[in-house]
Amino acid sequence: MEVPSRPNRFLLHPSWVSVLAGVCAALHVGKLPPALPVLQATLDISLVQASFLLSALQIAGMTLGLAVGLTADGIGLRRSMLIGLTLLAFASACGGFVSTASSMLWLRTLEGVGFLLVVMPAPALIRRTVTAQQLNTRMGWWGTYMPAGSALALLCGPWMIAQAGWQVWWWLLAAVSVLAWLAVWWCVPIVPRASAHVDDAWTKRLALTLKTPGAWWVAMAFAVYSSQWMAVIGFLPTVYNEMGLSASATGLLTAFVAVVNVIGNIFSGRLLQRGWPARALLMFGYASMALGAFGAFGQWEGWSLPPTFSFICVVLFSAAGGVIPGTLFATAVRVAPSEATVSTVVGYMQQWSAFGQFAGPPLVAWVATLVGGWQWTWAVTTGLCWLGFVLAFKIGGLLESPSKLQQVPV
């Protein structure tokens, strides 16, 4: 049984440190794309090997998300985060010395495990270190960790690689992970584990999670969101390159579209705190993503919106869609069947999110190949958003009837 640690010595609240640790972990997700052309040249990486490097973290999330969530609940939230940051720092530091694609792939997989160990316990840590009045707002901030980290990597990575080389970029992020480790060790207390003895065994925590309908709905809703967001953001540089934009302009515009996602996450927490129902926020987010993709990519007989308005639609797609992850993280801590299964539910969400990120881009690419362009991308996102509407109603029904939050046989 863990006991509370020493008092927090810094003014920075443990929940904010958890958010910053998540941003640090997301930096490692986003550090590879800016370096990929240089890595292909210096390490003689083929296109197929490059695709595996890009998808390594998604594969780790798809296969290990639930398992790592169970582990985080079992070993302790703070300890899990510290181990994850250690793995990220170690793998990134070693990455600067590798000379083969296979070595980089193994280290990338290790980073995937470290990433999961950091982000799985964070929502539970936040829940245990803030008041009930602060929870929704802080969960909205937590939802920003991925777009914030990815945008920072997209903005800083190209400049750092051009100035000092990709190895220094890897070592710099290893140093950032060490600083994050120190911040967690110093500022985040050891929170006591949930006292319910029924949750002690991992098999019982797993069964509780899989028997809880809310865990399924929030996980699938996250997959519906992540699949289309990753597909649009992932192919946006290709779309802008085909439009004749320079590499620097393409990188800047893509980073901007990613970072505005933070706005939606922050507002989701504020709106939940003001009494907005989760169902309404989720439906607003999915509707905005459908409308944004329709305006950005829709074409009929050669007609389409001017590039400026098309870009505004992409910004709408990302910014308004950002209310979805913030809402789902806040919902996950409510639908978890017990205190001891919050990280497990988040792990299940991460597993489905990784599946969405893995499957969404190929689906959009397949449709684009069939029709010979990106003009039907909106049809894919609209179909996913309709599924999101159904899931939003399911989640709303659970939250409006507390008795339904209890686990049911599956």
What CATH number is given to the structural domain containing 70? 1.20.1250.20
**Residue closest to 261 by CA, chosen among 137, 150, 348, 386:** 150
Residue-number span of the structural domain to which 177 is assigned: 1-193
> What sign does the CA torsion over 190, 195, 201, 203 have?
negative
270 and 370 share one domain = yes
Rg, Å, the chain Cα set: 21
410 residues of the chain, pLDDT tens digit each: 343 444 455 567 888 899 999 999 989 988 887 777 777 777 777 766 666 676 677 777 777 777 777 777 677 888 889 999 999 999 999 988 887 877 888 888 889 889 989 988 888 888 888 887 777 788 778 878 888 888 888 788 878 888 888 899 999 999 999 999 999 998 888 776 654 444 566 677 777 778 888 889 999 999 999 888 888 877 777 777 777 777 677 778 888 888 888 888 888 888 888 888 989 999 999 999 999 888 888 776 666 667 788 888 889 999 999 899 889 988 888 888 777 777 788 778 888 988 888 788 778 878 877 877 777 888 888 899 999 999 999 988 887 765 555 544 33
Domain assignment of residue 407, yes or no:
no
Residue that terminates a domain, selected from 149, 165, 193:
193
Domain assignment of residue 121, yes or no:
yes
229 and 131 share one domain = no
* 190 in Cβ contact with 4 (< 8 Å): yes
Alpha carbons 402 and 214: distance in angstroms, whole number: 11
Helix (H, G, I), strand (E, B) or coil at 300: strand
281 and 384 share one domain = yes
Domain assignment of residue 34, yes or no:
yes
Burial 234-261 (b: 16+ CB within 10 A, else e): bbbbebbeeeebeeeebbebbbbbbbbb
* 152 in Cβ contact with 23 (< 8 Å): yes
In terms of Cβ atoms closer than 10 Å to its own Cβ (0-12, 13-18, 19+), residue 410 is: exposed
How many structural domains comprise the chain? 2
260 and 345 share one domain = yes
Domain assignment of residue 202, yes or no:
no
26 and 76 share one domain = yes
**pLDDT score, position 47:** 60
**pLDDT score, position 300:** 67
Domain assignment of residue 309, yes or no:
yes
138 and 10 share one domain = yes
Residue at 73: amino acid letter: D
Percentages of the chain per state (helix, strand, coil), in multiples of 5: 80, 0, 20
**pLDDT score, position 11:** 64
**Tokens 């519906």 belong to which residue?**
224
**pLDDT score, position 409:** 35
Alpha carbons 136 and 125: distance in angstroms, whole number: 14
CA distances, 336 to each of 68, 339, 368 (Å) = 16, 7, 39
CA distances, 26 to each of 31, 205, 266 (Å) = 9, 27, 17
In 298-322, where does DSSP find H-type helix? 307-321
82 and 26 share one domain = yes
Burial 364-403 (b: 16+ CB within 10 A, else e): bbebbeeeeebbbbbbbbbebbeebbebbebbbebbeeee
188 and 261 share one domain = no
188 and 236 share one domain = no
**pLDDT score, position 239:** 74
261 and 380 share one domain = yes
Contacts 24+ apart (CB under 8 A), 162-168: 165/38, 166/35, 166/38, 166/39, 166/42, 166/96, 167/96, 167/97, 168/96
239 and 371 share one domain = yes
Alpha carbons 89 and 86: distance in angstroms, whole number: 5
244 and 387 share one domain = yes
**Tokens 């990188």 belong to which residue?**
251
* 94 in Cβ contact with 110 (< 8 Å): no
**pLDDT score, position 305:** 67
Alpha carbons 108 and 102: distance in angstroms, whole number: 10
**pLDDT score, position 2:** 41
- CA angle, 350 as apex, 52 and 50 as ends, to 5°? 10
